[in-house]
Chain A
């Protein structure tokens, strides 16, 4: 099946710094990528949807200036957490969808655990 990677797998940063997380589709072109956030023992909450070459669409309540998403190519999307605070500590998961826009098939990355101290 299609493979999606994330880098880094985990990151620890100091409060006030910015952190960039990469999401790559390794063997297919991802027309759409999704970013989710997951707290321990909780559900995945969709943060934003990005289409290659377009601005990301953020879900209600997600600060677009804090969570910068760039989908510059068909294989790479990045999420930058700016001026990170301890409450931003979470598990961030991306997923990618290729081919048809009207398709339910999407592939998930392994996730990135962010800890802000």
Chain B
């Protein structure tokens, strides 16, 4: 069964705007990862944030983690049309070292 659940399911924004996606999970984790998937393609790893970290940055990406609320957010700043993709969060489901994926957020960035 899925561990993480992303919200919203779909997001449509204009180029230049920020995009925020949220992920909630149910059981304790050691880390949480965010992945990107272009339509009909494999997954690309974006960021891993450990349970003892609260925020992490990578370029235009900012990930936060709130273990007390069992939630994480992915912020993409100054979005580009090329950011159009599905974004998934994945948790390790109690230290299994195997990511368990949520349903994903479909992001469309209009040029």
The reply to whether A104 and B48 form a contact with Cβ atoms under 8 Å apart is: yes
Q: How far is the CA of A95 from the CA of B101 in the complex (A)?
A: 13
Contact present for A108 and B97 (CB under 8 Å): no
Contacts of A113 in B (CB 8 A): 40
In the complex, A34 has a CB within 8 A of chain B? yes
Interface with B: A40-48, A66-74, A81-89, which one? A40-48
Find chain B residues with CB under 8 A from A42 CB.
103
- Cβ proximity bits A24-58 to B, threshold 8 Å, 1 near / 0 not: 00000000001000000111111001000000000
Q: Kindly list chain B residues whose C-beta atoms are within 8 Å of the C-beta of A6.
A: 42
Q: Measured between C-beta atoms, what is the minimum distance from B110 to chain A in Å?
A: 19
Give B27-62 as 1s and 0s: 1 = Cβ < 8 Å from A's Cβ atoms: 000010101000011111100100000000000000
Known: A43-B88, A44-B88. A104 touches B99 (CB 8 A): yes
- Chain B minimum-CB-distance residue to A60: B1
What residue of chain B has the Cβ atom nearest to residue A42's Cβ?
B103
Given A91-B40, A110-B42 in contact, is the A43-B102 Cβ separation under 8 Å?
yes
B100 to chain A, nearest CB (A): 7
Write the residues of chain A forming the contact surface with B, with a CB cutoff of 8 angstroms: 4, 6, 34, 41-46, 49, 91, 93, 95, 101-111, 113
20 sample A-B contacts, Cβ–Cβ < 8 Å, listed by A number: A6-B42, A34-B98, A41-B106, A43-B2, A43-B101, A43-B103, A44-B43, A44-B88, A44-B101, A46-B98, A46-B100, A49-B98, A93-B42, A101-B97, A104-B33, A104-B92, A104-B97, A107-B45, A111-B41, A111-B42
